[in-house]
């Protein structure tokens, strides 16, 4: 798990995203004023979302870097989900604005002007977004930051959106079919809706303490299977993720004639192996005697306990 100092350094990446968003907004709106393309306007509006999202990411990364305290013993890592959730909502708002702008142009198409200059400016803005997105994505994966990853994926999508719009503008220029410009803007809006919905879903699942991904659960089970062969058994296995942190808890059943020291040593070894299999995880274990029937009857700790009782 990243240290608090390392987490605090993530704010510099948020500032990088803020600077890039401000620059690309200026470039894209300039391209819109030159060409009059609602496709480019839709791209500029999405960049406004990038700026708002980057500001939110900065605020939430600052909160997430706080050390655990008496009221938040597990830390502030979930603050990052608010960032990605707000970004998802802003993306949906941007999509609505794009459609609102494009529909009148669909009914009354207008010719584009100075296409070459507008396209060149949009290409420069896209190159900036692509470079920043790659940097944010590397940092997000290295520090297990959902806020930075969400910002990076959004910027990469913005690059592909810009590529589609530029292609459409060139097609309008060479074919003379002016309705193609608002049609492309509406298609872009539909893609933005998809991205926003995905971010909202990911944020909600994170706040609802969703279990770790299947690959990480399989890695945990692989570790535990090695101990099963040593006559150490497990149940009540639970996992969840909160921002950059992963949490794993389980009951460990060992022979009843073991000493406390031997049981303690086994737990230490198990916890270490699970942390190795799932980097950034906090592991909690509870020791129980395997031969005591009561140790197997705490069904309320099982994820499907309600289903079993119904």
Q: What is the pLDDT of residue 38?
A: 72
Q: What is the pLDDT of residue 40?
A: 76
- The tens digit of pLDDT for each residue in 36-87 reads 777 677 777 777 777 877 787 787 777 777 777 778 777 777 777 777 787 7
The residues facing 254 across adjacent strands are 289
Distance CA 126, CA 35 (A): 17
Who wins on pLDDT, 208 or 127?
A: 127
Decide if pLDDT at 111 tops 70.
no
Distance CA 166, CA 58 (A): 31
Who wins on pLDDT, 206 or 284?
A: 284
CA atoms within 13 A on the CB side of 257: 1
Structure tokens belonging to residue 102: 């494009």
CATH architecture of 4-207: Up-down Bundle (1.20)
Mean pLDDT for the chain?
Answer: 78
8-state DSSP, 16? H
Residue with tokens 């900036």: 128
- The tens digit of pLDDT for each residue in 133-186 reads 888 888 877 777 777 777 787 777 777 777 777 777 777 777 878 777 778 778
Q: What is the pLDDT of residue 308?
A: 42
- Beta carbons within 8 Å of 56's beta carbon, 6+ residues apart: 82, 83, 86, 87
Q: What is the pLDDT of residue 277?
A: 92
Pairing mode of beta strands 233-242, 245-254: antiparallel
Distance CA 188, CA 168 (A): 11
Q: What is the pLDDT of residue 252?
A: 93
- Mean pLDDT for 123-138 is 87
CATH code reported for the domain at 214-309: 3.30.70.1350
Decide if pLDDT at 200 tops 60.
yes
Distance CA 181, CA 85 (A): 30
Q: What is the pLDDT of residue 92?
A: 80
Decide if pLDDT at 1 tops 50.
no
8-state DSSP, 276? H
Decide if pLDDT at 12 tops 70.
yes
Decide: 24 and 47 in contact? Cβ < 8 Å: yes
pTM for this predicted structure: 0.59
Q: Domains of the chain: which residue ranges?
A: 4-207, 214-309
- Mean pLDDT for 223-239 is 89
Q: What is the pLDDT of residue 243?
A: 65
CA dihedral (18, 20, 22, 25) positive or negative: negative
Query: ∠ CA 169-25-121 to the nearest 5 degrees?
Result: 45
- The tens digit of pLDDT for each residue in 258-290 reads 999 999 999 999 999 999 999 878 899 999 998
CA atoms within 13 A on the CB side of 268: 6
Q: What percent of the chain has pLDDT over 70?
A: 88
Q: What percent of the chain has pLDDT over 90?
A: 14
Tell me how far the alpha carbon of residue 280 is from its chain's centroid: 16
């Amino acid at each position: 798990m990243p240290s608090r100092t390392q987490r605090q350094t993530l704010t510099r990446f948020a500032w990088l995203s803020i600077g890039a968003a401000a620059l690309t907004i200026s470039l894209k709106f300039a391209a819109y004023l030159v060409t009059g393309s609602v496709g480019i306007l839709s791209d500029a509006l999405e960049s406004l979302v990038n700026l708002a999202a980057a500001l939110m990411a900065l605020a939430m990364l600052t909160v997430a870097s706080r050390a655990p305290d008496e009221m938040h013993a597990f830390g502030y890592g979930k603050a990052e989900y608010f960032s990605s959730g707000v970004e998802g909502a802003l993306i949906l708002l941007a999509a609505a604005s794009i459609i609102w702008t494009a529909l009148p142009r669909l009914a009354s198409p207008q010719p584009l002007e100075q296409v070459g200059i507008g396209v060149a400016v949009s290409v420069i803005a896209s190159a900036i977004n692509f470079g920043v997105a790659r940097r944010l994505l590397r940092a997000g994966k290295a520090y297990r930051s959902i806020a930075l990853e969400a910002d990076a994926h959004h910027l990469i999508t913005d690059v592909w959106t810009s590529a589609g719009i530029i292609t459409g503008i060139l097609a309008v220029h060479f074919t003379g079919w002016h309705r193609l410009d608002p049609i492309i803007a509406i298609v872009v809006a539909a893609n933005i809706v998809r991205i926003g919905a995905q971010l909202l879903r990911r944020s909600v699942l994170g706040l609802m303490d969703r279990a770790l991904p299947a690959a990480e659960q399989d890695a945990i089970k692989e570790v535990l299977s090695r101990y099963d062969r040593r006559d150490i058994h497990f149940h009540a296995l639970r996992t969840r993720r909160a921002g950059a942190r992963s949490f794993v808890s389980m009951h460990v059943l060992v022979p009843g004639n073991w000493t406390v020291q031997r049981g303690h040593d086994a737990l230490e070894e198990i916890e270490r192996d699970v942390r190795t299999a799932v980097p950034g995880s906090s592991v909690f274990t509870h020791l129980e005697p395997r031969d005591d029937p009561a140790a197997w009857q705490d069904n309320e700790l099982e994820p499907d306990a309600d289903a079993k009782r119904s």
